Amino acid sequence: MSNPKGLITPEQAKALNDAYTARCELVSKDITKREDNRSSWYSLQEIKDFLDYAETQAKSLGYTMDGIRIYCGAYPKVDGQAGYSTSFIVPTASSSEEDGDGQSHDIQGANGLNFGQNGYPPGGNYPQ
């Protein structure tokens, strides 16, 4: 089996995490006024189920799913308290060279995946 494209080492993951820390600290200090969420966790089965579901839904919408896009997001304020940061996943499909730019785009009308478990503690850095 060949290695998947885009693999990074644990050291590279740590460097990415460390470079993000200053941004997260600003959010925690100035927006959420508490430690903010740094990660989301999904079980392997949740990911497999979502991919199967998304591929089926894409076909019903007239698309051939080619991947996923992961977005950063945040939950809305509740009782004046800013919500935690989160990430969510949406399916993508390529437009053909004849019909568009040949790039992957979010599938309009398709459902995404959210509500993974927060890191523990929410502000926990890589690795957990």
Residue 108: count of CB within 10 angstroms of its CB: 9
* Assigned token pair, 25: 């600290």
- Rounded CA gap, 31 and 48, in Å? 34
Average pLDDT on 66-88 reads: 87
pLDDT tens track for 31-70: 777 788 888 889 999 999 999 999 999 999 999 999 999 9
Query: What predicted TM-score, i.e. pTM, was given to this entire model?
Result: 0.80
